[in-house]
Amino acid sequence: MPRPSPLEVYAVLDKSNCKECGYDTCMAFATDILERKVSVRDCTHLSLPKQAKNRDKLIKLITPPQKPVVIGTGERAVTIGGEEVLMRHQLTFYNQTAIFIEIADDDADLEETIKYLTDIKLERIGDVLTLDGIALRNVSGDKEQFKLAANKIGEVSNLPIMLCTFNTDNLLYAAEAIKSKKPLLYAATKDSWEQLGTFAVKNNLPVAVFSNDLDELMSVSATLQKLGVKEIVLDSGSFFGPGNLSVTYDNIMQLRSAAIDKEDVNAGWPVMGVPAVYWSQVKIGEDKELWEHKFQEIIMGAIMESIGTSLIILHTGQKKEDIWALLALMTLRQSVFSDPRIYPAVDAGLYKVGEPGEMDPIFVTSNYRMTKIPVEQDLQGANLNCWLLVVDTEGIGIESAVAGGQFNAGGIAEAVKEFNVFDNVKHRVLVIPGMAARLSGALEDEADAFVVVGPRDSSGILKFMESQWKPDEFMKEYESWEK
């Protein structure tokens, strides 16, 4: 089924343009609800009893073929799935792969581990990267221990929780204690679906279904839906070793394809993978060092992220010394789940770095986020006091913007004037990127400034400052032009 248009959404709204949703018109609301910037509940009129049919029509219309599932509650609740396309370039991915770390219920340092995982924050190119959840395994086999550990996570952390065991009695015993946290129950099988599904329906909880037989997986999914389960996650198994990784890959892709391309309602749910199974499928220490085994698990996770898997569970990452593993996967995820339809831009303006004085430099760059932030970080890393003039290039990087005309002498000169750049210093010197060298002559005329061509890459700025930054000499030459 093709993606609905704003007109189709508009047709089921009341067209009152009441503005209670924050939009001036119902058409504007219709456009943004398709982009998931607002939800059905944001339209107050649709909550009225007489609008029930239209509300149901709208929900059905905008629900993606792979339905979304929410795990957890509060500000750190995570939404997985909910995708409309198989490949990102076809539209965009909306919900990034959720990364959960598995911990054992008999972990001697349980509370310390929980706190560490909860507090993980990595900053990269303007984004704060965090963990999405904790997968608690019933390693002890004891239901009381499982319950105590689940309660401890609920007390210490606001991260979403996944309860993991094939012992259904133990699973439900722990789930009863933390059901208000909306944990994901792992896992329903052909033998346990009724007991687990009944509990999930009663408490409105999401359920993960496991089977390495895709037909059986679809059958359990269908049965749970008939039972009334509203949120399901599919696990077709994760396998490591020659030929096995390709089977894992194929199964995930088959499920995603069945949901999105074929609109199979039984497959139309988020798909999960478990790179952590690596540790139970290989013999540790025989021919590889420990770090090599960890690396293999992270490779599995990277493969799963790259094909749009909705959720992955890792073992590596529990300890501080393994932060490299999370950084690798979070960095990859940041790239895979960026929106290809928009350029990542920052606000144009004059940014202060350090405590610049009256003769410190003014560097010029574009407002492409992947340019501005690394340049700023390089300036800070070099302990420089300076100004950074960010010019609106429509979110395009320097080289492409120079070629396309978005980074030009006129635009830079306008930015100089708009942000009163030279009011902050006692010179009229601009430092432009080496890749924009051809603009120097025209810019000197347009901005009435002396233009210095800096390094092609901001990593060379410190060396440039040490060897080439001579503002007094530059100003003498500038003043000679005036004469």
Determine phi and psi for 42, rounding to 5 degrees.
-75, -15
The confidence score (pLDDT) of residue 466 equals 92
The confidence score (pLDDT) of residue 462 equals 93
The pLDDT tens digits of the residues spanning 111-126 come to 999 999 999 999 887 7
To which residue do tokens 């393994």 refer? Answer: 322
Gyration radius of the chain's alpha carbons: 27
Pick from 64, 77, 26, 119: nearest CA to 320: 119
Give the angle subtended at the CA of 77 by the CAs of 76 and 82, to the nearest 5°: 130
d(CA 176, CA 158): 18
Share above pLDDT 90 across residues of the chain, in percent, rounded to a whole number = 89
d(CA 127, CA 373): 10
Sign of CA dihedral 391, 366, 92, 301: negative
Give Cβ neighbours of residue 394 (< 8 Å, ≥ 6 apart): 343, 345, 367, 401, 406
Give Cβ neighbours of residue 267 (< 8 Å, ≥ 6 apart): 218, 221, 234, 255, 258, 259
Sign of CA dihedral 366, 367, 373, 377: positive
SS3 (DSSP) at 41 = helix
Residue 271 has pLDDT above 90, yes or no: yes
The confidence score (pLDDT) of residue 344 equals 86
The confidence score (pLDDT) of residue 1 equals 65
Question: Encoding tokens for residue 236?
Answer: 């077709």
The confidence score (pLDDT) of residue 123 equals 87
The confidence score (pLDDT) of residue 287 equals 76
SS3 (DSSP) at 191 = coil
Q: Sorting pLDDT into bands at 50, 70 and 90, what band is 342?
A: confident
The confidence score (pLDDT) of residue 167 equals 97
> Residue 99: how many CB atoms within 10 A of its CB?
25
The confidence score (pLDDT) of residue 243 equals 84
The confidence score (pLDDT) of residue 465 equals 94
Helix or strand holding residue 126 (H, E): none
What the chain holds in terms of domains, given with CATH numbers, is 6-62 (1.10.15.40), 68-336 (3.20.20.20), 349-482 (3.40.50.11600)
Give Cβ neighbours of residue 415 (< 8 Å, ≥ 6 apart): 348, 389, 390, 391, 392, 421
Residue 211 has pLDDT above 60, yes or no: yes
> What type of residue is 95?
N
The confidence score (pLDDT) of residue 239 equals 94
The pLDDT tens digits of the residues spanning 383-412 come to 999 999 999 999 999 999 999 999 999 999
The pLDDT tens digits of the residues spanning 240-270 come to 988 898 999 999 999 999 999 999 999 999 9
The confidence score (pLDDT) of residue 482 equals 60
Q: What is the pTM of this model?
A: 0.86
Share above pLDDT 70 across residues of the chain, in percent, rounded to a whole number = 99
The pLDDT tens digits of the residues spanning 356-381 come to 999 999 999 999 998 999 999 999 99
Query: Whole-number mean pLDDT of the chain?
Result: 94
d(CA 185, CA 422): 61
The pLDDT tens digits of the residues spanning 119-161 come to 999 988 778 999 999 999 999 999 999 999 999 999 999 999 9
Pick from 224, 233, 73: nearest CA to 161: 73
Q: Sorting pLDDT into bands at 50, 70 and 90, what band is 300?
A: very high
d(CA 266, CA 252): 14
